Structure 1
């Protein structure tokens, strides 16, 4: 039995292929954590624009529960990267 197909998510930003890293250390020498496009979009909508999870879900075309799961993962990845000095690599889910 195959898993349910992933619902198309509406994302506005285009940062794929870029990275955020500490200065002074080459990217190849750092542990890298991938932040997917939908995770970055959920962070942007809820934390930067101040939308509720319901409003962000409506903008992205997914449920509030899905936004909540995406945010939980994205916030953990981001905080871990910042606290431990890892690089954040922005990737597309459409690869």
Structure 2
């Protein structure tokens, strides 16, 4: 049985629910889900330039958990950009 997720503090919110390549209908695109906690981790570390320890404290999680979120989110973003996939935000609740 998987361990339950610790509640995470999420202050930012994605402006849109989907980012996709222009000119390709949504029905033809593979979708990559990006969770709210992954977006928040990217926002704190990459956009605001916080150190991982500070960002983890802000979200109420461990530094290692934050590092895992950032790594996974970056992979999904690059996969979407390089392979022309739709990046979808999803609620983690």
Question: Into which bin does the TM-score normalised by the smaller protein fall?
Answer: over 0.9
For structure 1, list consecutive stretches of 5 or more residues without a partner in the other structure.
Answer: none
- Alignment correspondent of 2:43: 44
Q: Which residue of 2 aligns with 1:69?
A: 68
Q: TM-score, normalised by structure 2?
A: 0.93
Q: State the Cα distance separating 1:27 from its structure 2 match.
A: 1.3
Aligned to 1:19: 18
Count residues with an aligned counterpart: 93
Structure 2 gap ranges (5+): none
Quote the Cα distance in structure 1 between the aligned partners of 2:43 and 2:67. 13
Asked if the contact 1:16–1:37 (Cα under 8 Å) also holds between the matched residues in 2, the reply is no
Alpha-carbon RMSD: 1.4
